Amino acid sequence: MPSMLGLTTDKSLHGLNSKEPFMGEQNHDNDDMGKQLARRAGDSLTKAYNGKKDKKKSSRRKHSRRDSGHGDSEDDSDNDVNASRKREERIRQHEEDDEEEGDRPNTIKERNSKAAMEGETLFWRALCDKPSSAFKYMGKDAVVSNYLLFGDKNPRGPKTEPTLEEALEDCEGPLSYRIHKSYTVEIGLMAVAVVYDVTLYRSHGPPARDGTVKMKVQQATVTSTWRQVASGDYVLASSMCG
């Protein structure tokens, strides 16, 4: 019961004369305090353990970064080498393409001149293999005067006697030929005149007993005209060899 000074005669639960709790009774304050202390101790141990783990992980990361840094440097060097090689290959390819483009004819005159000389080469090759096969490189109205083939300077054409086709079937072609330096002149949009020297090699006399054949060399100057037809091919319009 409280007194006038605010004191009480009731026994304190936590004093010297306090009774101990019976078996089965729980002191919740003490339990809570113990649990908190246990938690704090456990948390401190966990933090210390995790700190050690973090240190190990950081050291491993540093080593791995160093190793990866070396690998990256090596990879970068390899990539630089490969890039330089590819760059050199591209430059070389561009140079080759430029050279090829430089060899190609770029004007109508150059294309006509090249087509005419290709036609001359095919024409003489056909005369060496089989003279009658050379007619496919000529136009239907072509006129040819060639004393090395026909033995005279008379022109042959579609209306002559014999015709050009008949004369090619009866003549004897050379064994081989050689075309020397040529000169071309543009005479139309799709026509060109060609002038060049040619050397022909023929057999002279019957072959010897050992099979050898004497060669006869003939030289002449050729003037020919080539024109482009609707198909885009160039055909021989006229030719004079003398």
Give pTM, 2 decimals: 0.55
Contact indicator for 138, 153 with CB cutoff of 8 Å: no
What is the share, in percent, of the chain residues with pLDDT greater than 90? 40
The runs of H, that is alpha helices, within the chain are 28-103, 108-129, 147-150, 164-170
Which of 97 and 119 is assigned the larger pLDDT?
119
Residue 103 confidence (pLDDT): 56
Number of H helices, E strands in the chain: 4, 5
Q: What angle do CA 227, 230, 234 make, to 5 degrees?
A: 30
Which pair of structure tokens corresponds to residue 193? 């005149």
Q: Hey, which CATH number is domain 108-241, 1.10.3720.10, 3.10.450.50, 3.60.110.10, 3.30.70.20? A: 3.10.450.50
Predicted pLDDT of residue 110: 84
Domain ranges (residues) in the chain: 28-104, 108-241
Q: Which of 171, 195, 174 is nearest to 125 (CA)?
A: 174
Q: Partners of 183 in the beta sheet?
A: 195
Distance between the two ends of the chain, CA-based, in angstroms? Answer: 159
- pLDDT, tens only, 32-87: 555 554 555 555 555 555 555 555 556 666 555 555 554 455 556 667 777 777 77
Mean pLDDT within 166-173: 92
Comparing 178 with 39, the larger pLDDT belongs to 178
pLDDT-based confidence at residue 26 (cuts at 50, 70, 90): very low
